Amino acid sequence: MEEIMHAATPDELKAGLAQLDIDVPERSRGRSNLHTERYCIAHLLATLSNTRLCFPLVLTHGDKPDFVLSMPDGNVGIEHTEAVPKNVAWSQFLREKTRGPDIYFTPHATPGEPKRTADELCREIEVDEPGDGWVGDSAEHEWAAAIAHCVKQKLPKATAVGFTRYSANWLMVYDNWPLPHIDFTKAASLLYPLMKGVNAFAVFDAVFVLDDSQLCELRDSPIIYKLSDSRIGS
């Protein structure tokens, strides 16, 4: 386990977050799970510092789970995952390498879809077909189904032998699912019953879904927060 920071007060937490390197490089430039894990944990702690945290606290990085947050009222194990289709992530890598167009149609993706070859993806990048688009609240429904799928995939790992459980256990989901702009509040309300349907809250006390501007906490009912970059330095 690697200790990332120790904070005796909210001000010390703010100072510690300001020193973290949370840059997430392009997929073709050495991006790894560690980059996205640090980005997510920094924004999570900054956003929850006034509502969910008590001091002094110690944050450590490890595996199974990815982080442990030690606080006077108990330790929290925090696991991380990224919600992104494998084909879309591979397409992003290829676009960066082959200098595909900067502006392109948002692709449709289905959770668990078969992996396509590099040649197939390169042809799709070149053709750049618009697809069927999204009608009404279909984007919100698609988002909810995708996030629920990603959470469901994490449940067996979080209950397997070798995964350490703590007095509280959280899951962070870094949302990179390809969609047009969605009504985040409505999408979260659609996600909540799906999470209960897969029994996610029997494994994780809370699930946090965050993108580059907002954070959704799912526990008793969805709570939406705006991410604040003002507490994070780099």
Under the banding of pLDDT at 50, 70 and 90, the label for residue 132 is: confident
Alpha helices in the chain (DSSP H): 10-19, 33-48, 86-98, 118-127, 138-158, 184-197
Q: What is the mean pLDDT of residues 187-212?
A: 96
- Range with the poorest average pLDDT among 10-19, 79-88, 145-154: 10-19
pLDDT one-digit tens code per residue, 144-161: 999 999 999 999 999 999
Q: In what order do the strands lie in the sheet with 206-210?
A: 2-7, 57-61, 67-71, 74-83, 168-175, 206-210, 214-218, 223-226
Q: Give one word for 85, left, alpha or beta, with left for phi > 0 and alpha for psi -120 to 50.
A: beta
Residue 77 tokens, joined: 């194990």
> Taking 50 as the threshold, does the pLDDT of residue 234 lie above it?
no
Q: Which two tokens stand for residue 167?
A: 């007095």
Angle value at C-alpha 97, between 92 and 99, nearest 5 degrees:
85
**Quick one: which H or E segment has residue 229?**
none
Q: Domain-by-domain residue ranges, the chain?
A: 1-38+54-141+165-234
User: In this predicted model, what pLDDT tens digit does every residue of 157-178 receive, in sequence order?
Assistant: 999 999 999 999 999 999 999 9
pLDDT at 201 (0 to 100): 97
> Are 86 and 178 contacting, i.e. CB atoms less than 8 angstroms apart?
no
